[in-house]
Amino acid sequence: MEHVHTMKKLGALLFSSALAAAPVAAKIKVAASLTDLASIASYVGGGEVEVFSIAKANSNPHFVEVLPSYMIKVSRVDVYLKAGLALDQWADAIIEGSRNNKLAVIDCSAGVEVLEKPSGKVDASMGDVHPQGNPHYWLDPANGPLIAEHVREALSKADPAHAALFAANAKKFREESDRKIAAWNGLMAPLKGSAVVTYHSSWVYFAKAYGLRIVGYVEPFPGIPPTAKHLQELVDRIKAGKAKVLIQEPYYGDSDPRFLERQTGIKVYRFTPSCVGTGAGDYFRHFDAMTEALAKAGG
Amino acid sequence: MHFRMPTLRGMPRARFRTPVRFRTPVRTALPASLAALLFCLCHPAQAGVANPDISALGQVIGGYTDDPGSSAADEATLRSGEMELVLDAYLNPFLKGWFTLSGSEDGFAMEEGYASVVKGLPWGLALKAGKYRLGFGKLNPMHPHAYPFIDPPRSLVSLLPGGEEGFNETGVQVSELLPTPGDWASTLSADVIEGKEFHPDRDFTRLGWVGRWANDFLIGETGAVETGLSAATGKSIAPEWGSSQLYGADVKAKFYLPGASQLTLQAEGVVRDFLDLDPEVVEGDSVVIAHNRAGFVAFADYRYHTRWNGGVLYEQWESGDETDMEDRAFRVFAGYAVLEESTLLRVAYEHFIPEGSDPVNTVSLQLLFSMGPHKAHQF
């Protein structure tokens, strides 16, 4: 009996030694065009991923310069998360320049209910209109779980051994989203139906999520800076619509929003269109900050 | 977006030693090719076959110079510059093709036409073949429209083969993205080229070579820097009389500032070590002489809120093959994107000091307009 017991101990020792000697599985390396996609990848991937974002929170996601240093970084990753809808066309040049034949490129916009999808001919007379529709879909928190699902699928293909972990984390993300969305909806309830102005058409998903009415844009057409005439018309529209909030990205000049503020009393909020970090909770924290700031305006 | 800035052709200028060459056979053959190409593009594509991206650029240039050697001295001038048409598309999942046609009152010329393997090759390799602006230095491979100033630097026009048209040849390039740690990107490229630009007026065929080693780094999240070393060799007189060489070094640093502003600092130096026949020796007793010339250009460009830019440029170069004359030029330039990058207004003032001659002052104004898809901005 004692012999059997000794054998069991020896077996356990051998097993644990074998485990200790086994090579540590490498983490999945993930690059993302936007910090939001990177943050969601960090959440779903947990400790099994290393994530970075090309665009920073305060970068204009339409125009990111293609640096060779981005290419070398992407040459070493397993998964690339693209925003899609022709927002991050610069990512194609980075991906091509990376010469990474094993790279899985995931379009995170797949399956999104796209807003402002043009129905007719699209040309530059309409400004910088995206032919596939408005690409700023991550600003509706309801699209977060959809992005998480794309991430789960990509990570599971890259590392099937941890598929269960990724599925559990994606489920946890969905549940946390549901709780957070309920809280944000509560905060934003006083603003529901109220008129807002935004600088660029980045905020249509955000406005839809909280029932905000966009009554005008500082840009007369997407990507086209305002004229004096347009600003004057916007002053009239803000006054008529009783808009209290103007949302502006920090990479646009603030002289025109300040002019509107002086003329109408509208309050200017400078929000980055993406979350500041790439950590697991940063995507949620971005909405926490924006909804809290706006709730004060509506209160 | 692809743009093309004007070449110096037709602009008032003084003491350019590099001869202007027109590729007449190409120009005469190209209208037919262009018509065929446009027909193909307009023809309904087969199911599943997408049309290429097409972009076009036009320009109007005004100028004033006090250069006594110019036919337009002390007169305001106005002219249309070179027009450019760019087509690019995937040929299949692994290859991409580009065509750049430049047009002027003289007709159309194929500036570039090449295919590149963008994926599928092992060990970080890439392959390019066709006619293209060679990767000698940082400025030459760029289309001049992408420079922040109107005209290409005189030093590069004088020192690089190809002159105003740029060092542009038919070739095959292999490049390797070397395995490096962190965000250090190190790219080594080698081109075998037709070599014609080394001996444009001589009747023989001999290949040339171009090589470049570029190293790129990020400066935290606020900047990026690239350093490069380039070399090229080819036969400039006759195959049996040795080779001519070019050497170059360049550095570019860009700092990303708050409010979508940027500061670019860039410099490039070239040493041209060319062989030629001594013109003073009668034929039959030819003597080979070496012309060694060098020069550099440096500039700073500040871009404010994406729509405005302004900067200064200084260059100095040895311009005379037979003497040690050294020319200098100083420029101040500014640009304004009227709405966004599809419509640009530019202005430049140049003070050009040719050694042994009076200084020349030139003011240039340029309106650039372009259409087509917005392409990624390369560093």
Q: Do A66 and B379 touch (CB under 8 A)?
A: yes
Whether A252 has its CB under 8 Å from any CB of chain B: the answer is yes
Q: Is the pLDDT of residue B2 over 70?
A: no
Collect all residues of chain B within an 8 Å Cβ-Cβ radius of residue A199.
none
The pLDDT tens digits for B58-116 are: 999 999 999 998 989 999 999 988 899 999 999 999 999 999 999 988 888 999 999 99
Collect all residues of chain B within an 8 Å Cβ-Cβ radius of residue A94.
376
Q: Is the pLDDT of residue A88 over 80?
A: yes
Collect all residues of chain B within an 8 Å Cβ-Cβ radius of residue A66.
376-379
Query: B4-8, B44-48, B77-81: which has the minimum mean pLDDT?
Result: B4-8
Q: Do A101 and B122 touch (CB under 8 A)?
A: yes
Shortest CB distance from B185 goes to which of A72, A124, A252? A72
Q: Is the pLDDT of residue A19 over 50?
A: no
Q: Do B119 and A250 touch (CB under 8 A)?
A: no
Give the Cα separation of B66 and B12 in Å (integer): 9
What is the rounded average pLDDT for all residues in chain A?
Answer: 91
Q: Do B185 and A69 touch (CB under 8 A)?
A: yes
Q: Is the pLDDT of residue A34 over 90?
A: yes
The pLDDT tens digits for B142-153 are: 998 889 999 999
Per-residue pLDDT, A8: 54
How many angstroms away from the CA of A110 is the closest CA of chain B? 20
Whether A2 has its CB under 8 Å from any CB of chain B: the answer is no
Q: CA separation (Å) from A58 to A121, A268, B155, B219, B256?
A: 32, 17, 39, 17, 11
CA-nearest residue of chain A to B376?
A90
Mean pLDDT of B347-354: 97
How many angstroms away from the CA of A88 is the closest CA of chain B? 9
Whether A110 has its CB under 8 Å from any CB of chain B: the answer is no
The two tokens of residue A137 are 């879909």
CA-nearest residue of chain A to B221?
A56
Q: Look at residue B138 and give its three-state secondary structure.
A: coil
Per-residue pLDDT, B372: 85
Shortest CB distance from A67 goes to which of B120, B124, B379? B379
Q: Do B184 and A72 touch (CB under 8 A)?
A: yes
Q: Is the pLDDT of residue B48 over 70?
A: no
Whether A90 has its CB under 8 Å from any CB of chain B: the answer is yes
Q: Do A69 and B125 touch (CB under 8 A)?
A: no
Mean pLDDT of B316-321: 86
Collect all residues of chain B within an 8 Å Cβ-Cβ radius of residue A75.
124, 177
What is the rounded average pLDDT for all residues in chain B?
Answer: 85
Per-residue pLDDT, B237: 87
Q: Is the pLDDT of residue B22 over 70?
A: no
Q: Do B259 and A250 touch (CB under 8 A)?
A: yes
**Which chain B residues have any C-beta within 8 angstroms of a chain A C-beta?**
96, 118-122, 124-126, 177, 180, 183-187, 214, 216-218, 221, 224, 226, 254, 258-260, 305-307, 339-340, 342, 371, 373-379
- 3-state DSSP of chain A: CHHHHHHHHHHHHHHHHHHHHCCCCCCEEEEECCHHHHHHHHHHHHHHEEEEECCCCCCCCCCCCECHHHHHHHCCCCEEEECCCCCCCHHHHHHHHHCCCCCEEEECCCCCCCCCCCCCCCCHHHCCCCCCCCCCHHHCHHHHHHHHHHHHHHHHHHCHHHHHHHHHHHHHHHHHHHHHHHHHHHHHHHHCCCEEEECCHHHHHHHHHHCCEEEEECCCECCECCCHHHHHHHHHHHHHHCCCEEEECCCCCCHHHHHHHHHHCCEEEECCCCCCCCCCCHHHHHHHHHHHHHHHHHC
Per-residue pLDDT, B264: 97
Per-residue pLDDT, A23: 52
The two tokens of residue B227 are 């350093």
Collect all residues of chain A within an 8 Å Cβ-Cβ radius of residue B254.
65
> Quick one: which of B290, B292, B293 has its CA closest to B278?
B290
Whether A250 has its CB under 8 Å from any CB of chain B: the answer is yes
Whether A225 has its CB under 8 Å from any CB of chain B: the answer is yes
The pLDDT tens digits for A119-166 are: 888 888 888 888 899 999 999 999 999 999 999 999 999 999 999 999
Q: Which of B225, B340, B341, B369 to mutate to test the interface with A (most CBs of A within 10 A)?
A: B340
Shortest CB distance from A72 goes to which of B118, B177, B375? B177
pTM strictly above 0.90? no
Q: Do A69 and B177 touch (CB under 8 A)?
A: no
Q: Between these two residues, B260 and B283, which has the higher pLDDT value?
A: B260
Q: Between these two residues, B250 and A251, which has the higher pLDDT value?
A: B250
CA-nearest residue of chain A to B339?
A224
pLDDT band at B141 (very low <50, low <70, confident <90, very high): very high
pLDDT band at B276 (very low <50, low <70, confident <90, very high): confident
The pLDDT tens digits for A165-207 are: 999 999 999 999 999 999 999 999 999 999 999 999 999 999 9
